[in-house]
Structure 1
Amino acid sequence: MTRRTTTSPDGVTFRDLNGNGVLDPYEDPRLSPAERVADLLPRLSAEEKAGLLFHMITGVGEPGAHDVPGPFGPRTPRDLVTGLHLNHFNVGQLPPVRETVRWQNAMQELAEETPHGIPITFSSDPRHGFTQNIGMALAADALSQWPEPLGLAAIGDPELVQRFADIARQEYLALGLRAALHPQVDLATEPRWARQAQTFGQDRATASVFVTAWLRGMQGEVLGSDGVACTTKHFPGGGPQADGEDPHFPYGREQVYPGGRFDEHLEPFRAAIAAGTSGLMPYYGMPVGLSLDGEPVEEVGFAFNRRILTGLLRQELSFDGVVLSDWGLVTDVEVFGKPFPAKAWGVEHLSPLERVALLLEAGCDQLGGETRTDLVLELLRQGRLTDERLDESVRRVLLVKFQLGLFDDPYVDEDAAGRVVGAAEFRAAGHRAQAEAVTVLRNEGVLPLGKGRRVYVEGVDPGVAAGLGTVVTDPADADVAVVRLAAPHEARDTYFLEAMTHQGSLDFPAAVVDRIVALAARVPVVLDVYLDRPAVLSPFDEVVRALVVDFGASDAALLDALTGRVSPRGRLPVELPRSMAAVRASRPDVPSDTADPLYPHGFGLDLPPTPHGSPVGS
């Protein structure tokens, strides 16, 4: 479906985006993306160029309700698209598929009202797993559901990673999502760090192989009209956070390298660049005590850091794609009644105007989560931003839009979306991967679970558990207990996103430990722990009869693994520390650095053979 479609005198079908009745070179589908960019760029006003430098988050509203403020601010879609000339939007929670498609098509129609009809690029944070944090990742909902990337790392199969990425690509395309704010290839070397679920674990070789497979599945060998442009993050590696704190928040701004492993964290990004990643996103973190080539690196956030973005990324690594900053580096805001200070770490003293100037000077092309086109225009008026520097970023941004084919047809088909998103074969593949990622750490003869048992459950849907036999409500009546827990974290809720961002101690509360120990004294316990980051499992290790971990699994997928209907083949993608004392003594940038870990990186047991029945989830 296209709008403004017409035919030139020589028979070329094209979209007359500027409404002049002429086939201009930038509208000509026969030309290369670079040729089309070269034609469009000098046609644009300063205001249009400034709009291309911003990538805002948005919620999905009523299709065509362009004059109604959206859920993420007082501005209307018309204000943003035709007023500020914004045309990159990171879409949050999605309504039903057809409603999503109708809204996106209506937004593309709105974009045709702009002077040159520049289409909108809709982007997405990860949304195929179990994590629900609107600032970082979204649970699958209507899409096929898979283990988190940490679970794909546990399976350890690059071909499966590429297959997942290809399925994600198909579902994104069907929904009109043409840019992925992932993969995340930070190395998970600090056990307390909150962002591990979307990584490929602690091993640089694994992350390098997997990011290549991911990009092949999402972008293809060469980014084209059937691809999704990926922004690999968080350059140059966000794992080594001081005390494992998250730099979304002021107390977590420091990134440290006491083990001297900066180059190790950089390695997956070298692989991403070699594989053709469309974009890269620098991290919020501020390097402390880091030197490169014998020179200290300025202690400012990576997006503000010219030595990192221009010196290292552009010049040494020869990256010429889009550098998109992480969200909210310029303006202090309040969201849902919580403060969300600008992540201008190391440059907190600068004004918003000076922050934008520094971001562009450092090497950023787009600013995430901001709408301050007025500041770009003021920098132009003052002569602090040259036309040449502005055009450099605009050219990179436009090239991706042309590569994706958005200028030729940005619209999405409702019926096709209904068939593709959450297709049965995609859901089945995701279910199997959830089960395969389950990692068996301890098994004293209780696994695989057989049928016909009397089962007591905690944290498991009794209706699903009924596939094992009879579900009882009193542990004294049970042959076995199956219990599910989630990795612990400290409750915090001062800042926006803080409550959903799991940080702090990896120790389970004493009450939880006491409950499991008491239960294990009455009945054999199979304990499963969901790891969105490591946990100290020592209190349970010699108490329960079987100990397993998962990285995002439904109850049905877990039980398929515990019964052997789908063979669990997970191996730990991160080491599990024995104690918090060992974590505190470890170096944040060094993998496998906790003393005497309870279970080392790569550990996992196979289950004994068992006859395969029908999967619980079938």
Structure 2
Amino acid sequence: MIKKVLKFIGVFLLVLVILIVGLVSYFYFNQTSKIDTAMEIAGPPADRIILDGERFRDLNKNGELDPYEDFRQPVELRVEDLLSQMTVEEKAGLMFHSPAAVGSDGNFAGVFNIMNTLPLEVAILEKKMNFFNLFAVPKAELLAEWQNRVQELAERTRLGIPVTISSDPRHTTMELATIGFNIEGFSKWTEPIGLAAIGDSAFVHRFGEIAAQEYRAVGIHTALHPMADLATDPRWARINGTFGEDAELAAKLTAAYVHGFQGDSLTSSSVSTMTKHFPGGGPQDDGWDAHFRFGKDQVYPGDNFDYHLIPFEAAFEAGTSQIMPYYGVPVGQTSEEVGFAFNEEIITDLLRDSLQYEGIVCTDWGLINETTILGYPLGEIIEFAGTKNYGVENLSPVLRVKKALDAGVDQFGGESTPELVVQLVEEGSIPESRLDQSVRKLLALKFRLGLFDEPYVDVDHVSELTGTEEAIQLGYESQLRSQVLLTNQTVNGSPILPLQKGTRIYIENLDLEVASQYGQVVETVEEADVAILNLEAPKDPEMGSFAGMDLFPMGRLYYTEEELAPVMEIIRQKPTVITTYLSRPAVIPELAESASAIVANFGASNEAIFDLLFGEFNPTGKLPFEMPSSWEAVLNQKEDVPFDSEDPLFPFGYGLSYEE
């Protein structure tokens, strides 16, 4: 019997291996065939035209200097000249902004739709697309090489329209923070919520300048940030990307951020900012995030809608070139209960007409088409990957595109189906002139960023422009300045912090090698003078994850009894210092009462944490949000109202120093 079972298992595994090999082979050869077909369309690279001692790129390969190829001409003239030469397909391609994968060796890896990967050659040559955003990437030099290969491919299209590359934040101290990856070679900074804890607009402006230099060095032209959302609900998963719950502070820092990245106007050294998520994510029903269908509703029980516009108004005044609406449905705020990007009263009536915003509006990612895996709707397996088509679920993808265009958006984020726009024009559902309205803005952005004149980066000089001594020093300074000393109890007549060098320390969840440079690390609590515990912030582990990645910490803000028990046992034995990364305002009354000291950070390396604990830096950070005293207080808060936690454990702006 056992032999038969083993034989059956062996046959099953053999069939499974053959099936997997077959699928991989099919996928590989299918992709190769698509690439070969696409490359047949590619034209030659652009020649250079020498005129009056200047070099110009003959992008349309006609042997003449067209106005759009002449950098001496005004942007408006160049835009109109190029627009007059574009087909409907080329205009439609410009209106899609899709994720692109970068190979570990700097080569092409396709455009994402999970395993239905669209080869980059197909996206650029056949679909006429030229806006792409990046997720995980190799080190800086390899990314620069990839960017140049992409631009070489774009140069071989009919009109030679260059590619614009965008990215979420790239300067986190953590490998992954709500889709924010660090690039090897870039400087490392605290999160935006940490910049709010510092509260220094000049410092934020300098961060923007440094980040922009590092972005442009590797060929990133658009920042899919800042987040001008307000953290008025402490449960919301994306607080670490905001500047906290105070609208005036957030407005000041948002403006400084935009100015830092873009400068006073867009130039070839600027990075354009796509400020998000208009008209303000944050007041999510029960704190759930709109990446998930159960979090689609934005609510305003405090009738505080306008409060959330304040940071966006600052971004407009600072000249942000792009705006991204959020996914959610503004419950009770408009006559139609549909997501922001489909909502004409939000995009046209409010953003365009009332607030007079004339820049680019790009939807958040994945509103139109279902994400699939080998043709199967992934949203049926993992809710995070489902289409964010809130309120328009019954419309077909092509009609969703029409509704968003009618609402006033210019570009579709995370999508790669320009054929839907072409279909709408061909069937007469929208006029080509409607495309022109959006394409003018998208082309002007490329011209102002200098991409038509010089889209390539100097790979040999990437290391000179990224991770400079000043950038690394200021990034580390941000990690120090953003930490907040919450408690510092007296032990044996003196405050526990700062610790003395050489103190015997027991550590958990901290780097042993780093800790050993400050204290004598021991193996047991009993041997220690002080225990130092680095705690993970509270959350519901089953919520907010995708493909094994903890993207969106959601749910409870308190520790369970099971989670607290081992911590309290250590506290009972020895003076205990707690350090924790606060992605959200934790509810920690038990720890505040019993721990010897608590230090919060918003993105800090182990070195920065120990520098502060051992007195190499005197803490100066101030809380950018309230920390509630109980879960009941959280439940009694209104999602859209700031500073409404009853009797907070630590109020907004709280923070101790060693001199107090």
Q: Distance in 2 between matches of 1:535 and 1:275?
A: 33
CA offsets per residue over residues 540-580 of structure 1, 9 Å max, x none? Answer: 01111101110011110011112221222110001011111
Mapping of residues 489-508 of structure 1, within 5 Å: 489-492=539-542, 496=546, 499-508=550-559
Question: Is 1:430 paired with 2:475?
Answer: yes
CA offsets per residue over residues 196-238 of structure 1, 9 Å max, x none? Answer: 1010000100111101111111000011111000000000000
Change (3 A) 1:66 1:572: closer
One-letter amino acid matched to 1:169: A
TM-score, normalised to structure 1, is: 0.94
Which deviates more, 123-132 or 15-24? 123-132
Question: Is 1:447 paired with 2:497?
Answer: yes
Which deviates more, 274-283 or 72-81? 72-81
Alpha-carbon offset, residue 422 of structure 1: 2.0
Partner of residue 514 from structure 2, selected from 464, 469, 472: 464
CA offsets per residue over residues 389-438 of structure 1, 9 Å max, x none? Answer: 11000001111000000000000111211222222331221112101111
Q: Distance in 1 between matches of 2:505 and 2:106?
A: 52
Alpha-carbon offset, residue 597 of structure 1: 1.0
Q: Distance in 1 between matches of 2:544 and 2:484?
A: 35
Which deviates more, 224-233 or 590-599? 590-599
Which deviates more, 316-325 or 421-430? 421-430
Question: Is 1:333 paired with 2:375?
Answer: no
Report the secondary structure of 2:573's partner residue.
coil
Aligned to 2:533: 483
Q: Distance in 2 between matches of 1:120 and 1:27?
A: 15
Aligned to 2:24: none
Mapping of residues 211-360 of structure 1, within 5 Å: 211-290=254-333, 296-334=334-372, 338=382, 340-360=385-405
Aligned to 1:615: none
Q: Distance in 2 between matches of 1:53 and 1:390?
A: 8
CA offsets per residue over residues 72-109 of structure 1, 9 Å max, x none? Answer: 54211110000101100001111122211111101100
- Does structure 2 conserve the Cα–Cα contact (< 8 Å) formed by 1:61 and 1:70? no
Mapping of residues 408-423 of structure 1, within 5 Å: 408-423=453-468
Mapping of residues 153-172 of structure 1, within 5 Å: 153-172=196-215
Report the secondary structure of 1:6's partner residue.
strand
Partner of residue 40 from structure 1, selected from 82, 90, 98: 82
Which deviates more, 177-186 or 576-585? 576-585
Aligned to 2:18: none
Q: Distance in 1 between matches of 2:297 and 2:160?
A: 42
Aligned to 1:15: 57
Aligned to 2:29: none
- Does structure 1 conserve the Cα–Cα contact (< 8 Å) formed by 2:140 and 2:184? no
Question: How many equivalent residue pairs?
Answer: 602
One-letter amino acid matched to 2:509: G
Report the secondary structure of 1:207's partner residue.
helix
Alpha-carbon offset, residue 136 of structure 1: 3.1
- Does structure 2 conserve the Cα–Cα contact (< 8 Å) formed by 1:185 and 1:233? yes
Gapped regions of structure 2 (runs ≥ 5)? 1-44, 490-494
Aligned to 2:193: 150
Gapped regions of structure 1 (runs ≥ 5)? 291-295, 610-618
CA offsets per residue over residues 156-185 of structure 1, 9 Å max, x none? Answer: 111110111111011001110000000001
Report the secondary structure of 2:241's partner residue.
coil
Q: Distance in 2 between matches of 1:239 and 1:459?
A: 30
Report the secondary structure of 2:654's partner residue.
coil
Q: Distance in 1 between matches of 2:372 and 2:290?
A: 17
One-letter amino acid matched to 2:511: D
Question: Is 1:89 paired with 2:139?
Answer: no
Larger helix fraction of residues:
2
One-letter amino acid matched to 1:454: R
Question: Is 1:404 paired with 2:449?
Answer: yes
Change (3 A) 1:423 1:267: same
Alpha-carbon offset, residue 252 of structure 1: 0.3
Q: Distance in 2 between matches of 1:349 and 1:495?
A: 27
Question: Is 1:98 paired with 2:141?
Answer: yes
Q: Distance in 1 between matches of 2:177 and 2:122?
A: 23
Taking only the aligned residue pairs, the percentage that are identical comes to 45
One-letter amino acid matched to 2:56: F
CA RMSD of the aligned region, Å? 1.8
One-letter amino acid matched to 2:352: R
One-letter amino acid matched to 1:310: T
Report the secondary structure of 1:327's partner residue.
coil
Alpha-carbon offset, residue 472 of structure 1: 0.5
Q: Distance in 2 between matches of 1:334 and 1:582?
A: 41
- Does structure 2 conserve the Cα–Cα contact (< 8 Å) formed by 1:133 and 1:501? no
Q: Distance in 2 between matches of 1:512 and 1:324?
A: 42
One-letter amino acid matched to 1:128: H
- Does structure 2 conserve the Cα–Cα contact (< 8 Å) formed by 1:67 and 1:78? no
